[in-house]
Structure 1
Amino acid sequence: MNLNLYIANKIRKGEVTGKKLAGPVIKVATLGVTIGMVVMILSLGIGTGFKREIRNKIVGFSSHFQIINYDYNTSLETNPIERDSVFVNQISQIEGVTRVQEFATKPGLIKTTENIQGIIIKGMGTDFDWNFFNSIIIEGERPDIYQSTTSNDIIISSTLAKLLKLKVGDRVPTYFFQEKIRPRNFRISAIYDSHLPEFDKLYVFADIRHIIKLNNWNENQITGYEITLDGFDLIAPLSQQIDLLAASRISPDGGLLRSTTINQQQPQIMGWLDMLDMNVTVILILIILVAGFNMISGLLIIILERTSMIGILKALGKQNWNIRKVFIYLATFIIAKGMIWGNIIGIAICILQHQFGIIHLDPDNYYLDSVPVFIQPLPIVYLNIATIIISYLMMIGPSYLITRITPVEAIRFD
Structure 2
Amino acid sequence: MLFQTISWIVFVANRVRQRSSGVFSATISKIVTLSITIGTATILIASMVLLGFQKEITKKITTFVGDFEITKYSVEASSTSLQGGQISRLMANLPSAIEKITPFTQMLMLAHTKVGVEGIWCKGIDPMVDHTALEAYLVVGRLPDLTKSTYQNEWCISHHLAQRLSIALGDSVVVHTVHPTVRYRKLKIVGIYCTYLTDIDENLAFCDMRLMQRLNNWSSETVNGYTIFLKDHVTPTKTLRDTILDLIDYDLRLIPTQRKYINFYDWLAIIEKNTTIFILFILLVAGCTMVATLIVQLMERSYMVALLKVLGAYDGQVYAILLYNSLRTLCRGLLYGNILGLGLSFLQAHYRCITLEPALYYMCYVPIYTHWKAILFPNLLIFSTLSVALYFAIKWLRQKKIIEALQEG
> Is this a same-fold pair by TM over 0.5?
yes
Separation (CA, whole Å) in 2 of partners of 1:68 and 1:86: 11
Partner residue of 1:253? none
Separation (CA, whole Å) in 2 of partners of 1:167 and 1:406: 79
The CA deviation at 1:108 is 1.8
Going from structure 1 to structure 2, the CA distance change for 1:298 and 1:16 (only over 3 Å counts) comes to: closer
Q: 2:346 aligned to 340, 345, 351, which one?
A: 351
Structure 1 unaligned segments of length 5 or more: list them: 249-255
Q: 1:318 aligned to 313, 334, 337, which one?
A: 313
Q: 2:302 aligned to 295, 303, 307, which one?
A: 307
Partner residue of 1:212? 213
- Matched letter for residue 263 of structure 2: Q
How far does the alpha carbon of each residue in 1:281-326 deviate from its partner, in whole angstroms, 9 at most, with x for none? Answer: 3222221111111111122222111122212222333221111111
Partner residue of 2:109? 108
Q: Please say if residues 123 and 208 of structure 1, whose CA atoms lie closer than 8 Å, have aligned partners that are also in contact.
A: yes
The answer to whether the aligner puts 1:405 opposite 2:402 as a matched pair is: yes
Task: Give the 5 Å matches for 1:220-239.
Answer: 220-231=221-232, 233-236=234-237, 237-239=239-241
Deviates more, 1:210-219 or 1:112-121: 210-219
- Matched letter for residue 311 of structure 2: L
Separation (CA, whole Å) in 2 of partners of 1:319 and 1:394: 22
Separation (CA, whole Å) in 1 of partners of 2:81 and 2:92: 19
Separation (CA, whole Å) in 1 of partners of 2:310 and 2:180: 101
Task: Give the 5 Å matches for 1:5-404.
Answer: 5-13=10-18, 15-16=19-20, 20-69=23-72, 71=73, 73-84=74-85, 87=88, 90=91, 93-178=94-179, 181-231=182-232, 233-236=234-237, 237-247=239-249, 256-399=251-394, 400-401=396-397, 404=401
- Matched letter for residue 56 of structure 1: K
Separation (CA, whole Å) in 1 of partners of 2:344 and 2:361: 20
How far does the alpha carbon of each residue in 1:200-253 deviate from its partner, in whole angstroms, 9 at most, with x for none? Answer: 1101101112222333433331101111111253421532221111136xxxxx
Q: Please say if residues 154 and 204 of structure 1, whose CA atoms lie closer than 8 Å, have aligned partners that are also in contact.
A: yes
The CA deviation at 1:64 is 1.1
Going from structure 1 to structure 2, the CA distance change for 1:111 and 1:310 (only over 3 Å counts) comes to: same
Separation (CA, whole Å) in 2 of partners of 1:83 and 1:393: 58
DSSP 3-state at the match of 2:102: strand
How far does the alpha carbon of each residue in 1:57-98 deviate from its partner, in whole angstroms, 9 at most, with x for none? Answer: 0111110121212x2x24353300023498288268432322
Separation (CA, whole Å) in 1 of partners of 2:327 and 2:90: 58
TM-score norm. by structure 2 comes to: 0.90
Q: Please say if residues 90 and 244 of structure 2, whose CA atoms lie closer than 8 Å, have aligned partners that are also in contact.
A: no
Structure 2 unaligned segments of length 5 or more: list them: none
The CA deviation at 1:273 is 2.2
- Matched letter for residue 279 of structure 1: N
DSSP 3-state at the match of 2:313: coil
Separation (CA, whole Å) in 2 of partners of 1:37 and 1:391: 11
The CA deviation at 1:345 is 2.0
Separation (CA, whole Å) in 2 of partners of 1:123 and 1:179: 16
Separation (CA, whole Å) in 1 of partners of 2:205 and 2:360: 23
Going from structure 1 to structure 2, the CA distance change for 1:390 and 1:212 (only over 3 Å counts) comes to: same
Deviates more, 1:172-181 or 1:204-213: 172-181
The CA deviation at 1:174 is 1.3
Q: Please say if residues 137 and 191 of structure 1, whose CA atoms lie closer than 8 Å, have aligned partners that are also in contact.
A: yes
Separation (CA, whole Å) in 1 of partners of 2:309 and 2:354: 55
DSSP 3-state at the match of 1:327: helix
The CA deviation at 1:329 is 0.5
Separation (CA, whole Å) in 2 of partners of 1:148 and 1:406: 88
The CA deviation at 1:180 is 5.6
Going from structure 1 to structure 2, the CA distance change for 1:276 and 1:146 (only over 3 Å counts) comes to: same
Separation (CA, whole Å) in 1 of partners of 2:354 and 2:328: 34
Q: Please say if residues 87 and 247 of structure 2, whose CA atoms lie closer than 8 Å, have aligned partners that are also in contact.
A: no
- Matched letter for residue 65 of structure 1: F
The CA deviation at 1:411 is 5.6
The CA deviation at 1:343 is 1.7
TM-score norm. by structure 1 comes to: 0.89
Q: Please say if residues 296 and 398 of structure 1, whose CA atoms lie closer than 8 Å, have aligned partners that are also in contact.
A: yes
The CA deviation at 1:280 is 2.9
Aligned-pair identity in percent equals: 25
- Matched letter for residue 404 of structure 1: K
- Matched letter for residue 240 of structure 1: D
DSSP 3-state at the match of 2:168: coil
Separation (CA, whole Å) in 2 of partners of 1:262 and 1:350: 30
Q: 2:9 aligned to 4, 22, 26, which one?
A: 4
Q: Please say if residues 64 and 134 of structure 2, whose CA atoms lie closer than 8 Å, have aligned partners that are also in contact.
A: no
Separation (CA, whole Å) in 1 of partners of 2:189 and 2:93: 33
Separation (CA, whole Å) in 2 of partners of 1:41 and 1:86: 44
The CA deviation at 1:179 is 6.6
Over the aligned positions, Cα root-mean-square deviation in angstroms equals 2.4
